[in-house]
Amino acid sequence: MRKVSRLSRFNVASLALGLAFLYLPILILVIYSFNASRLVTVWGGWSLRWYHEFFNDRAMIEAAWMSFRVAVSSATIATLLGTLAAVALSRGERFRGRTLFSGMLYAPLVMPEVITGLSLLLLFVALNAERGFWTVTIAHTTLTMCFVAVVVQSRLGSLDRSLEEAAMDLGCDPVRAFLSMTLPLIAPAIVAGWMLAFTLSLDDLVIASFTTGPGSATLPIRIYSEVRLGVKPEINAICTLVIALIAVVIVIASLASKLSSSQGESAAPL
Amino acid sequence: MSSRRIFARPARFAAIAPYVWMVLFFLVPFAFVLKISLSLTAIAQPPYEPVFDLMAGWDALKAAFAALSIDNFKLLVSDDIYVFAYVRSLTVAVTATALLLLIGYPIAYGMARLPKSWQAVAMVLVIVPFWTSFLIRIYAWINILQHDGLLNQILLALHLVSQPLVWLSTNSAMYIGIVYSYLPFMILPLYATLAKMEPALEEAAGDLGAPPWQVFWLVTFPLSLPGVGAGVLLCFIPIVGEFVIPDLLAGSNSLMIGQTLWLEFFTNKDWPVASAAAIVLLVVLLVPLLLYERLQKRQLEQGR
């Protein structure tokens, strides 16, 4: 902690400005959702009027319910598949097609969503599948299982393998050793993975637009079509509710990863 | 050692379900994109005329390959709209990534200089907006940037301008939106490398008489290059295909390739051309990915 590495005034300023830049817009949005005025920009006192409006908007409620169902089911399937993938990649050592497998798991993380959405839509059309809840769920599972795999894999990588080996030396078969030793140790990462998958699915607009059918819009699709027509105070209220829901999820996920890091090395950053 | 082997076998079986899933819903769809990009445009439903039918057997497949049409790709190269869209996407991505690096680096650097216990707090603070819906974050900016929005109200109140400025539907609004949305993706990999860096190296350079800017430019920055590479890649690739942010914040006069693709697909219903555009985009994006991989390999070799 000598002169170069000390926190300079410049460091503090850039940090403070950066965090302000990240948080102020969201804060303003939340404050204006309690605005009584119909004009979004004129302050008319505190009010819950726009929340009331939202809860009476059938189309929005239906879209929110659809989003929630898709997020829960796709996050659950994605967590199952992603955890299996992570186990295979970090414990399976070599198997045929491993390179292709890990390539397929990492590609969706960086690929533009427009391409993922387009290709899945073309598949569903070719299969003549009816588009709606299930097609969106499948699409979201495909995307989010890759994130789950990354999170769980990094936890598995930091785990001491001798624990599994000790269990097996004491007479456990590999599956028992995994279930009784490894699984409890990576459980916090699995929980964090589910949460990440859940919020990613709740958030997704592009892939859902490609893979859903008429009459089964998700919440982002609804919000998007409203926003394109102009700003409405009701949207502020919906957005605040979504932010609140995600905040709850983050608190749970960070508790889970705290648990995970107190048991071993640092948890995955996501 | 032997128990590790025993474990490997059932672990391999764990790959089966996710493997099948990814082949079905990730790899196979690209076969369809490729197939349709080589098809002819038709007005029928679905709006393309297949050139070959995978179910028709090997002979039919061979005949179809002999008569493959690459007209859709030729159209992409000859039509100005597409060429402009690709050029604009790349320009926007390069500019935005440079801005992100410029803005994200000091923040990441500041985080890495914090006391250890504060670093964890700062990291959570940077990640939280990443968890918050990006559509909502863009919408928050529309609130601020619109004609009678907060920004113009503040500028008017401070008498910096005499009448409201136009912010929405401009390039500046789009860059604000992109930088805002992608900032965590730039900060996190930068922070990861900066936090691991040995502070003694900077101190040594300082003790040897280098002024702070030289310490930064000759020691800190070169050592943080892996983080710079990862951050640039994490931002650049998705920005090229970005669709929602330019659609909501930029004007509609000059489109990026993501929007062009979307319009071609949903409005013009020209699926073959949209598919061809997607494939070209994919090929374009492979270039920075492969470059990054080569760079990483070289760094690994140097490290040894």
Nearest to A246 among B26, B131, B202 (CB): B131
Q: Is residue B43 part of a domain?
A: no
What pLDDT is stored for residue A267 in this prediction?
A: 40
Question: Worst-scoring range by mean pLDDT, A127-136, B9-18, B33-42, B228-237?
Answer: B33-42
Distances (CA, A) of B113 to A7, A19, A248, B106, B107: 6, 15, 30, 11, 10
Q: Is residue A46 part of a domain?
A: no
Is it the case that residue B55 has pLDDT exceeding 70? no
Q: Is residue B139 part of a domain?
A: yes
Q: Is residue A4 part of a domain?
A: no
User: Is B261 touching A (CB cutoff 8 A)?
Assistant: yes
Residues 114-143 of B with CB under 8 A from A: 114, 122-129, 131-137, 139-143
Residues 6+ apart with CB under 8 A from B9: A174
Give me A183's structure tokens. Answer: 């699984």
Q: Is residue B26 part of a domain?
A: no
DSSP, collapsed to helix, strand or coil, labels residue A129 as coil
- B291: phi then psi, degrees, rounded to nearest 5: -60, -45
Q: Is residue B28 part of a domain?
A: no
Q: A163: domain range?
A: 57-261
Q: Is residue B77 part of a domain?
A: yes
What CATH number has the domain bearing residue B104? 1.10.3720.10
What pLDDT is stored for residue A260 in this prediction?
A: 60
Q: Is residue B39 part of a domain?
A: no
Q: Is residue A6 part of a domain?
A: no
From the number of C-beta atoms within 10 Å of its C-beta (0-12, 13-18, 19+), residue B201 rates as: middle
Q: Is residue A178 part of a domain?
A: yes
* pLDDT band at B58; cut points 50, 70, 90: low
Is it the case that residue A104 has pLDDT exceeding 70? yes
Measure the CA–CA gap between B104 and B125, rounded to whole angstroms. Answer: 14
Residue A222's CB is within 10 A of a number of other CB atoms, namely 20
Q: B158: domain range?
A: 72-303
B212–A4: do the CB atoms touch at under 8 Å?
A: yes
What CATH number has the domain bearing residue A219? 1.10.3720.10
Q: Is residue A30 part of a domain?
A: no
Is it the case that residue A254 has pLDDT exceeding 80? no
- pLDDT, chain B, mean: 82
Q: Is residue B82 part of a domain?
A: yes
Q: Is residue B195 part of a domain?
A: yes
- Tokens 């893979």 sit at which residue? A211
Q: Give B49's DSSP letter.
A: E
Please give the angle made by the CA atoms of A253, A254 and A255, to the nearest 5 degrees: 90
Question: How many angstroms separate the first and last alpha carbons of chain A?
Answer: 29
Q: Is residue A120 part of a domain?
A: yes
Residues 280-299 of B with CB under 8 A from A: 281-282, 285, 289
pTM: 0.84
* pLDDT band at B56; cut points 50, 70, 90: low
* pLDDT band at A263; cut points 50, 70, 90: low
What pLDDT is stored for residue A230 in this prediction?
A: 73
Number of independent structural domains in chain B: 1
Among B238, B188, B110, B249, residue whose Cα is nearest residue A25 = B249
Q: How far is A236 from chain B (nearest CA, A)?
A: 8
Q: Mean pLDDT over residues A59-75, rounded?
A: 93
CA torsion sign for B101, B103, B109, B111 is negative
What pLDDT is stored for residue A38 in this prediction?
A: 72
Q: Mean pLDDT over residues B224-249, rounded?
A: 89
Number of independent structural domains in chain A: 1
Among A213, A215, A155, residue whose Cα is nearest residue A185 = A155
Is it the case that residue A2 has pLDDT exceeding 50? no
